[in-house]
Structure 1
Amino acid sequence: MDPLSLLRKAGLEAKGFPAPLHGGDISRVFRVGPYVVKVADHPPPGLFLAEAKGLRALEERGVRVPRVHWWGEEGIVLEYLPPGREDWEGLALMLACLHRRQEETYWAEAGFLGTFPLPGRKGGEWTEFFFSRCVEPLLRATWSQLGELGPRVEALYRRPLPAEGPTPLHGDLWRGNVHFAQGGPALLDPSFFAGERGVDLAMMRLFGGFPGAFWGAYQELYPVPEEVERALSRYQVYYLLAHVHLFGQGYLGALWRAISAS
């Protein structure tokens, strides 16, 4: 479906012509006047519902996100936030406030990491929750590509992960899901669930990571204990398994290094 057709289906007036924006690997993203329109051909069922729910969950917890105007199986319509200056200190404040919030228990609705479907789950001990909800589905999906690394991944989660307490997470917090807008930073494309903040911190260290200006401000606002720092490579395994599944064996080297650092 094209973006103008999606806007008509949503009952929203199209103001202007679609201008392509940088998008993800499955969606085509356009600005149409005050809207950002994401459309996809044959997306996994429930993909855009999960995005809408994740954005609203973050907004309810004080995070700036684009407003969700409409969603359907074919796409989603969001508020367009005009770009602004980089504000890493402002991002650190927003994320430290998010990570200081407490959830009653570990929980996740059925959702996605990228386009990979993840099950819903609620409660239990953190290491078992994280392994069964996040790691194990990807481990099963990638087992034939992993060779000797498969059993090594399994062994990583026989040791308990540190637990500060359940907190809301973006869940896929790489640089591309941060938008520096006028009026302050915003977050995009969440894989929202309630878990340990180390999951977000680990993704923020991968693939070049966030700059020192961010980490200096975040550490002042909400210092990261040494045991959480040591666990980050085990959380990175989760994201690297997803990259092996979605993009191929070129990520096996990074996966091996994360396992070895654990």
Structure 2
Amino acid sequence: MGLLDSFKNMFSFKYNTLDGAPALTREQDRGLALGAAYAIEGHLPVNALTMEADARTAAKLAKGAWDTVDTETARETYRYLLGGGHQSSYGLILPYLDRYLDVAPGRRRAELKAANDRAAGELPALAERHGLDPSSVQRSYTNCTLYYGYIWAYGQPSGPLPRSILAWDTARVVHVSRIFVDAGFVEPAEAWSMIAQAVDLVRPSYASWAEFNEGFLTGRAFWQLRGKRYDQERINDDGEKFSRAADELLNRDDSPWNRLPW
């Protein structure tokens, strides 16, 4: 090991593990890996399905973040995440956003206006046909053009947006499972079953953990861009925080993403 490697190891993130946790099966290990960015960012155990929170604290978090208060509402949350989640609206706006971003670098106003007019004319009806809120879908599109249009015009990204943000939805299956188990809303066996479904759902959409990460980061930004208040600085700061977590997962030899082939 060289001097540089020694310094990197000295200052690198140390994974949090839960002493005495039941041994994971390979399938469970792979499932937890879907939510590893949350574990790294929040310093949660990478080897156990828990946030190490007491039931009251976990229930308060479930209520505040997910409006989940019991077993039935926990199952509704699972149905949402595994049944479309944010991928549903992202998939609708992506073709329109692609058209906008095709002309964004040149700042051609007439073409930008034409792209926006087409989206405004077609997205509301398209959203209704898919059972989605038209105003929310339109707002997502508008905020995405502001955010990604700026990046495309000045940051010169290396490629197109991911075709899928299922990584984001399925990572959250793992994250909410930690909360729901700690709160006592679901038994571990049920949570592991939901996580297994998430693994089966997401694996066909990506070819590697790196691609999965791109889907996750894009999905997280998209989640924030759906809000009524557009705050580019907040989204950038949040993205940098989770990008640092991803760097650990992609580059450390002992990372779950390097131990487990996609």
| TM-score between both structures, scaled by the size of structure 2 | 0.30
**Larger helix share, 1 or 2:** 2
| TM-score between both structures, scaled by the size of structure 1 | 0.30
Higher radius of gyration, 1 or 2: 2
Which one has more relative contact order, counting CA pairs under 8 Å at least 6 apart?
2
